[in-house]
Amino acid sequence: MTSAVEVTAQRLRDRGERVTPARLAVVEVLAGTEEHLSAEQIGERAEQLRPGIHRATVYRALDALGEFGLVTHVHLGRAGTTYHLAGDLAPRHLHLRCSECGTVYDAPGDILEAARRKVQRELGFQLAPEQVALIGVCKECLA
C-alpha cells in the first residue's frame, strides 16, 4: 500500500513541482490524524516531525498543496479553518459543528447527495458542502 506522502511526492514530481520537506511534513501530519487541525497546529506538528521547518514555510506549503488539489480546508465558523488531505488521499466527509458546545463531527461525504443532485438539477448550481461546516445542535446539547 502506498502512503499519502509517497503519492503526494509522486504527484508533485509529475506536475514538475518541488518535493520539499515542508510539503511532505504537512501531508504526513494530515495523514496521521483524524483531528481537525488548524494551520498553526499543523505547523507545530510539522516542526516536531522535521525540526528546522519554520511555520511560515508550512503555511506556504499548505497554500501550494491546496492549489495542487492535494489538501483542502473547511471553514468551521468560530472554530476557525481546518485542513485535510483532498481527493483520493482521504475519504470524503462533511463537517457538522454544534452551535452550543462547538464540537465538530464528521459525517459521511454522501449524506447530502440527494440534496446536492436536486440543487444541481433544479437550479443548475453545484454545491460544495465539504468546504463549510453545517451548523446545528448535537444530541448531547439537545438532551
Annotated binding site: 98, 101, 113, 138, 141
CA pair distance 9, 17, nearest whole angstrom: 9
Angle between helix 55-67 and helix 39-49 axes, rounded to 10 deg: 110
- Summarize the annotated binding site for Zn(2+) as residue ranges: 98, 101, 138, 141
For residue 85, give every residue at least 6 positions away whose Cβ sits within 8 Å of its Cβ, in sequence order, or none. Answer: 4, 27, 30, 31, 70, 71, 72
Q: Record the cell numbers describing residue 62, joined without a space.
A: 499548505
Binding residues for Fe cation are 113
Greatest pairwise CA separation for the chain in angstroms: 54
Strands 81-85 and 93-98: unpaired
